[in-house]
Amino acid sequence: MSQIKLAIFDMAGTTIHDENSVAKAFQKALNKHGYPSVTLQEANEKMGYSKPQAIRELLEIHEPDSSKITEGFIEQIHGAFVQGMLDYYENDPSIRAIADAEEVFSALHDIGIKVGLDTGFSRDITDIILKRVGWDSGKHIDASAASDEVERGRPFPFMIQKIMGELGITDPKTVIKIGDTEVDVNEGHNAGCLMSIGITSGVFTEEELIPHKPTHLAKSLTEVLEIVRAFELAQQA
């Protein structure tokens, strides 16, 4: 029986193929609302965060008049981003799972590890993605959490805790977190997870992830599976 009970993966860039579309749509929404100086690099740096939080942080950099940074204005920009993402994930032919994702999910299930997904997206976008890749049936994943379903998104631990609660798992030291951004790594740390694994095939490089002290680095989801199997063997020795 596995010592690890649950593996929680990020979505875009980790288990869902992403051609930087999220950051581009995020940048576009801010540019259209009067902030043409927001760069794609800045947008990339906010990947993984809940999008309203990321909008606020970028406005605090680019808007000299703090009185304009209201909840209503943030929601207006977020609404434009959400609509762009809904259109993209509903219609773009490039939407697909990362090549080895389903194989890894199945292998984890075979050794008794449940699979969860959490994301900086809101639930409406999350559900469209899950449907597009055929993960809405419960066959591939056991639970998912979106950033608008908890008090605060990543790097806070609330999405991990939500999934744990749904699956009846109480000890975070039986949970591992996997993602491609600093907030994924820090979310795992903040939740007290056994492992917080950084994937280097997404938006952040190995050099960018190392300062956030991931317990492990992996170039692919298959390498994550190898890390899990090595841990299980060590526990049995």
Indicate if the pLDDT at residue 48 is higher than 90: no
Name residues whose C-beta falls within 8 Å of residue 87's C-beta, 6 or more positions apart in sequence.
none
Structure confidence at residue 22 (pLDDT) = 83
Tens digits of per-residue pLDDT, 141-163? 999 999 999 999 999 999 999 99
As a whole number of angstroms, the distance between CA 114 and CA 36 comes to: 43
Supply the pTM of this predicted model. 0.87
| DSSP of 147-167 | GGGSSS-TTSSHHHHHHHHHH
- What does the radius of gyration of the chain's CA atoms come to, in whole angstroms? 18
State both tokens at 76. 């207006």
At how many degrees (to 10) do helices 21-32 and 51-62 cross? 50
Indicate if the pLDDT at residue 7 is higher than 70: yes
Structure confidence at residue 25 (pLDDT) = 87
| Cis upstream peptide for 155 (omega within 30°) | yes
Is 1 within 8 Å of 169 (Cβ atoms)? no
Structure confidence at residue 176 (pLDDT) = 98
Can you tell me the mean pLDDT for 4-12? 97
Indicate if the pLDDT at residue 187 is higher than 90: yes
Report residue 1's pLDDT band, with 50, 70 and 90 as the boundaries. Answer: low
Helix (H) or strand (E) holding 51: helix 51-62
Is 122 within 8 Å of 82 (Cβ atoms)? yes
Tens digits of per-residue pLDDT, 49-96? 888 988 999 999 999 999 999 999 999 999 998 898 888 888 888 899
Would you give the DSSP letter of residue 111?
A: T
Q: Going by CATH, does the domain composed of 6-18+98-236 fall within 3.40.605.10?
A: no
Q: Which is more confident, 212 or 21?
A: 212
Tens digits of per-residue pLDDT, 122-131? 899 999 999 9
Structure confidence at residue 23 (pLDDT) = 85
Name residues whose C-beta falls within 8 Å of residue 219's C-beta, 6 or more positions apart in sequence.
199, 200, 201
Residue type present at position 103: E
